[in-house]
Amino acid sequence: MQKALAGQIALVTGASSGIGAGVAKALAEAGAHVTINYHSHAEPAEKLADEIASLGGEALPVAADVSDEDDVDAMFKAVVDRFGTVDIVVANSGLQQDAAFADMTLADWRKVIDTNLTGQFLTAQRAVREFQRRGPRPVSKALGKIICMSSVHEVIPWAGHVNYAASKGGIQMLMKSLAQEVAPQRIRVNSIAPGAIRTPINQDAWASKEAMDRLLTLVPYGRIGEVDDIGRAAVWLASDESDYVVGTTLFVDGGMTLYPGFADNG
């Protein structure tokens, strides 16, 4: 059987670890050639590229700071030089720099907004320009697909994390406004909003039994998410199977956004 993303070219930002690495691997398993962007850790990105190659795929690790315009241009140039163009762009790079509001520095605020929100702006903008430059390709019904990695915190307020929650709330309207603007060009823009996924970013929330028990009170489905849960969602959103899905946030969160605190209260 033909793989869902056969012949397509993908770029995943922030793909050297966590959700980004899981998404890059899942796209490669679905038949895409994948560019693995990383910021500072070349080694895990190269390891992932080798792993993808050993499964018969093609992967290119590329360093870039997604909040830097010149870096993002150079990253797209590297993708086009190697693969000719790109069909699927996953704007995934993100970080947390948590602090109580009164103690949060301007640097904490800027770092998170620059990477999580401005990084997605720059990545999505260069993706749109590349889709427009090269025109339609027979590998996909859409001219191109952009997937923004959001979070349940695009709708769930998060004390102690105002920079992060603000960045994800911003991604919600960046994604929808962009989706509305470019849908007539047959560019599909959607988001994935993961809940608690087992990655290094939230290790404190799952590494001990006490923390995990506390976390699971927030997850009606009763388990933590794995990067594969997000990888499978990304493959679907990138494929023609979801061709009529435009401007939507797909929550992959075990029900975290169902307000579980109200199950026996209120």
Catalytic residue numbers?
Answer: 164
Q: Which stretch binds ligand BGC (CB under 6 A): 29-37, 61-69, 146-154, 258-266?
A: 146-154
Contact 148, 171 (CB under 8 A): yes
Applying CB under 6 A, among 35, 67, 151, 239 the residue interacting with ligand BGC is 151
Q: CB 209 → ligand BGC: shortest distance, Å?
A: 17
216 scored as a contact of ligand BGC (CB under 6 A): no
202 scored as a contact of ligand BGC (CB under 6 A): yes
Applying CB under 6 A, among 28, 178, 189, 196 the residue interacting with ligand BGC is 196
258 scored as a contact of ligand BGC (CB under 6 A): no
225 scored as a contact of ligand BGC (CB under 6 A): no
Which residues inside 93-112 make contact with ligand BGC, applying CB under 6 A?
Answer: 96
DSSP 143-174: SEEEEEE--GGGTS--TT-HHHHHHHHHHHHH
Structure tokens at 177: 């406004």
Structure tokens at 221: 């489905």
Taking alpha carbons only, the member of 156, 201, 189 closest to residue 20 is 201
Q: CB 195 → ligand BGC: shortest distance, Å?
A: 5
> 244 Cβ partners below 8 Å, 6+ apart?
none
Measured between alpha carbons, how far is 135 from 144 in angstroms, rounded to an integer? 9
SS (H, E, C) 66-102: CCCHHHHHHHHHHHHHHHCCCCEEEECCCCCCCCCHH
205 scored as a contact of ligand BGC (CB under 6 A): yes
Q: CB 93 → ligand BGC: shortest distance, Å?
A: 12
Q: Which stretch binds ligand BGC (CB under 6 A): 76-84, 107-115, 150-158, 173-181?
A: 150-158
Residues at the site binding ligand BGC, with contacts judged by CB under 6 A = 96, 151-153, 195-196, 201-202, 205
